[in-house]
A and B are shown apart, each in its own frame.
Chain A
Amino acid sequence: MTPVKDIATVAEAYDLIVVGAGPAGLSAGVRAAELGLSVLLADENPTPGGQIYRAITTTPVTDRSILGEDYWRGSGIVARFEKSAATYAPGCTVWSIGPDEATPGSFELGLSLGGKARMISAAQVILATGAQERPFPIPGWTLPGVMTAGAAQIALKGSGIVPSGRTVIAGCGPLLYLLASQLAAAGTEIVAVLDTTPRSNWSKALAALPDFLRSPYLAKGLKLMAATRGKLRFLTGVTGLAAQGEKQLGGIRVERGSRVETIPCDALLLHQGVLPSVNFSNAAGCEHYFDEEQHAWLPRLDEWYASSVAGIAIAGDGAGIGGAESAALRGEIAAFGAAFRLGKLGESQRDAQAAPVRAELSRRLRGRRFLDLIYKPAPQFLAPPQDETIICRCEEVTAGQVRDAAARLGVTGPNQMKAFLRCGMGPCQGRLCGPTVVELIAQTRGVSPAETGYYRLRPPVKPVTLAELAALPATEAAVKAVVR
C-alpha cells in the first residue's frame, strides 16, 4: 500500500477508485489490486478501519477484552491492505462524482486533501461509504450531553475516553448491548439502559427466528445480553423519551406506557439502529428503493453490487445493513465484478473465485432479517409526536412545522418540504433529518415512505471551499456558459 499525503502525487486516472476505508472498502481495494487493477482508496478519516474498526491501528485501548475480539479482527483486514499495491489517501474527502466527459464510460471524482482539490478519473468506482446511525429525534436531542451511542464507541476506540458522569443508554438494536458492555468494562457509570424495542415486533419477527437460531448473531447476542443484563439496570418497554436540561443535559424523562420517571444523568447515548449512507450514491444518480424490513432507502444493486449507474458499485453496509464481516465479503465480490467489467478477469474465473466468498456471505447474513424485524424502531421514535421536537438539527425545523406543511400546504415530498422549510439545506445535507422528514410526511398523508420519496441530493456531498472549486480546470465551453 502506498500512502498519499499530498494530493499532487495522486495519479490522473485509476482503474478503480474506492471510497471509504472500512471493511468493505479495504477488502475491495485489496482484492482489486490483487487482480491487477490500479486502485486508489480515498477515506476522510486519518486512519483506516471505518467506524467499526475505528482507529484499529492507533487505538490507545490496550486491554483487548474491552473492545472484544470482533473489533480486533479488523487488524487482519488492515494488515492485508497494507501489503497490497493499492494507493491509500487518508484524510481525503470525495465530494463529487460525475461522468468523465473526456473518457466516455469513465467517471470523474472530486477529491479534496489538505485544502486542495483535484478531479481524478476512474474507470470503475466502488462506494464503500458505510452506514450512519438512524436519526433519533426526541425532545432535547440537540442538548450538549446527548450523543449517539456510536459516537461514544468512536470516542472509546479512537481516544480511550468514556463518558465521565452518570450515563444512560437508550434505544434499540444490537449495538445498544455491545456499547453497554464495552462502556461498563471501561469503567463508565451506566445508570440505566432504556430499551425502546416495541413488544409487538416479536410477533412480526417470529417467522425469521429459525434462521436466527442457526446464525452467528445468536451466540454473540446471548453473550452480550448475559454480560450486561445481570449487572446493569435495564428498563424495557420504553414508549417515550425526552432529554431535559437548559443549556446542557440534566436528565431523561422516561415513559413506559403510563409510568413516567425522570432519571438524572450527565450523558445520554442514543441509538436505534443504522442506515446505509445514501448521500453519495444518491448524488451519483444511483437508483434507490425503500426496503420495508430494514425500514431504509437502499441502492438497487445486482449480484455483483453494481448499481443502476454502469460502473458504480456499492459495497458494505451502504448496500444494506449486514455488519462488518459481511461488509468485507461484499467488498471482495464488488471487486470481482469491477475486475470483470474491466476485462481483467474472465466470467468463469470471476464466478469461480467469488463462489466461496458468496457462501461465506450467506452464512454471515443468516439471521439478519430477524434482527431487522425485532429491532425495527417504534413509530413514535421515527416521527416524533411532539410538535416542538427539532427534526432538522442544522436549520432547527420542528416536527410540527413539517406536519403542518404536509397537512395544510399540500407538500407531498421531502424536496418540496426542503424548499418551504429549509430542512436538509444545512451543512449535514439532510443526513440527520431526511429519514424523519420522509416519515413525518408519510404518516401525515397516510402513505408509505416509498411513495413519499427521498431528497434528491447534489454534489458536493462533503464540504469543499469555493477556492478549491475555483482552482480546478475549466473548459472553454464552461467559460462560454458563464461569461456571456
Chain B
Amino acid sequence: MTKEPDAVVIGGGVVGGAIALGLARSGASVAILDEGDDAFRASRGNFALVWVQSKGFGMPEYALWSRRSADDWNGLAGILKVESGIDVAHSQPGGFMLCLSDGELQKRVDMMHRLHNQETMTNFNYEVLDHAETKRRLPAIGKDVVGALYSPHDGHVNSLKLFRALREACVRRGVDYRPSHAVETIEPREGSFSIRGPWGEIRTGRVVLAAGLGNARLAPMVGLDAPVTPSKGQIIVTEKTEPFLNNPMVTVRQTDEGGVMIGDSQEDRGFDTVVRQPILSVMAERAVKMFPRLAGLNVVRTWSALRVMSPDGFPIYDQSTTHPGAFVVTCHSGVTLAANHVLTLAPAILSGTLPDAVSTFSARRFHVPAHA
C-alpha cells in the first residue's frame, strides 16, 4: 500500500467529491473510496437546483446555511472552471414556485409566512405574484397558473457536469479515487482508522463519511449517528428543445443542453427505484398546465432516485466525540450545499473543528429528551 492519506472520504458522489476537493485544496492528501457502477447514487438522479426559497422551517440555521452556499456558488463555479476546465452552467436568475390553484398558492404563502416569522430570516427576499405578474416575467406559462412565489436567491446548475467537474478537479489535485471500493468496516485505532473492504485495507487519521444512504450503516462504527432513510423521487426528462425557461423551479427546469426536467415526487418506498406511471402522469399533467408548449415534447428518459433524508430533513454534520477525526456529512441537497462543502466544511474538517454555523446540524438533535 502507498503512503497513508491525510484523509479518506467514503463516498464519491457530489457530497464526497466536494469534501475531497475542499480537503485537497487545503493541502491534504486524500483518498476517495467509492462503490461501483450500480451504486444508488443520488448524484446521478437529482434535480440540479441551487435552492434557498422555502428551506429552513423549524431550523432557520438551515436557511442561513443554504443561503450562504447559494451566495458562494458563483465562486465555486469559477473555481471548478479553473480546476477542471468544465463550465458547470451555474446561474442564479431567481426561482419560481408555480401554483395551479388558489389553495396551493395560499398554502405556499402561509408556509413562507411561518418560515419568515422565524428570527434571522430578515435578509431573505421573496415575492408573491399573481397570474398577470407571473405571466409578465414568464410569458410561457399557461392559464392554469394562478400565481407564484419568487425568490431571487435561487439558481441552478448542470448537476452531471458538476459531478464530473468535482471528479476531474479531484483527480488533477492528486486525489486517489478508488472505484469499486465498498467499505465493510471502519475500526478506530488509537487516533487513526482502519478501513476495510473486500479490496483490502486503508489507514488514515481522518475519515469523512459521505456515503449517502450508506452512512446509516457506517456511522455507528466510529461513534456517530446518521439515521438517514431513502425518499423516492421520480424525474421525467424530455428531448432537447429550444431555450424557453431560464429560471429554475422545483418541478420544471430546462437544462443548458435543452432538455426539460420535470419532478418532484416524494414517496417512502424503501429502496424501490421502479418508475411508476401514475406519478409520471401527474407530474406531466402539471408541467403541461404550467407550460402548455411542453405538451408535444417526447419523453426520452424517466428515472427515480433516492433522496438521503434525515428524520427532520435537514443535514447531519458531526464529528465523533468518542473517535475524533471521524466526521459524517450527509444531506439531500448536495448540489445546493456544494459551495459550503468545498469552501467551508472541508477546511474545517481538516482543522479538526467543525464551524459554529453547523453546530445545529449535529445528530444529537435526534436524541434530545421530549420534555427538554
Contacts and interface: CB of A to CB of B under 8 A. Distances in A.
A469 B276 CA distance: 11
B133 interface: no
A473 B163 contact: no
A477 B288 contact: no
Counting chain A CB atoms within 10 Å of each CB, the highest count among B163, B266, B298 belongs to B298
A413 B37 contact: yes
Interface in B235-250: 236, 238-239
Interface residues of A, number: 50
Interface in A447-484: 452-453, 456, 458-460, 463-467, 469-475, 477-479, 481-484
Contacts of B59: none
Interface string B81-99: 0000000000000000000
Interface in A66-123: 96, 98-99, 101, 108, 110, 119
A419 B160 contact: yes
A474 B160 contact: no
Which size bracket describes the interface of B in this complex? 35 or more
A453 B301 contact: no
Nearest to A441: B37
Interface stretch (A170-178, A342-350, A403-411): A403-411
Counting chain B CB atoms within 10 Å of each CB, the highest count among A98, A410, A474, A484 belongs to A410
B296 A458 contact: no
B163 A482 contact: no
B62 interface: no
Contacts of B267: 481
Nearest to B279: A478
Contact of A419 (B163, B239, B285, B286): B163
A285 interface: yes
A422 interface: yes
B277 A426 contact: no
Interface in A428-455: 429, 452-453
Contacts of B132: none
B295 interface: yes
Contact of B281 (A425, A472, A477, A484): A472
B284 interface: yes
A465 B285 CA distance: 11
A414 interface: yes
B38 interface: yes
Contacts of B236: 466, 469
A285 B274 contact: yes
A404 to B, nearest CB: 10
B185 interface: no
A453 B39 CA distance: 12
A389 interface: no
Contacts of A471: 281, 285
A477 B265 CA distance: 11
A409 B38 CA distance: 16
A111 to B, nearest CB: 12
Counting chain B CB atoms within 10 Å of each CB, the highest count among A98, A459, A484 belongs to A459
Interface string B281-316: 111111110000011111111110000000000000
Contacts of A98: 274-277
A413 B36 CA distance: 8
Interface in B158-182: 160, 163-164, 167-168, 171, 177-180
B68 interface: no
A416 B276 CA distance: 23
B277 A420 contact: no
Given A420-B163, A465-B298, A474-B278, A456 B285 contact: no
Interface string B13-45: 000000000000000000000101110010110
A92 to B, nearest CB: 16
B104 interface: yes
Interface of A: 96, 98-99, 101, 108, 110, 119, 285, 408-416, 419-422, 425-427, 429, 452-453, 456, 458-460, 463-467, 469-475, 477-479, 481-484
Given A413-B37, A419-B160, 4 more contacts: A420-B164, A426-B300, A466-B236, A470-B285
19 contacts: A110-B277, A409-B168, A409-B171, A410-B178, A415-B38, A419-B43, A420-B164, A422-B257, A459-B302, A460-B302, A463-B239, A466-B238, A471-B285, A474-B278, A474-B279, A475-B278, A478-B265, A481-B266, A482-B282
- Among all A-B residue pairs, the 7 with the closest Cβ atoms: A413-B37, A478-B278, A470-B285, A467-B295, A469-B284, A470-B284, A463-B298
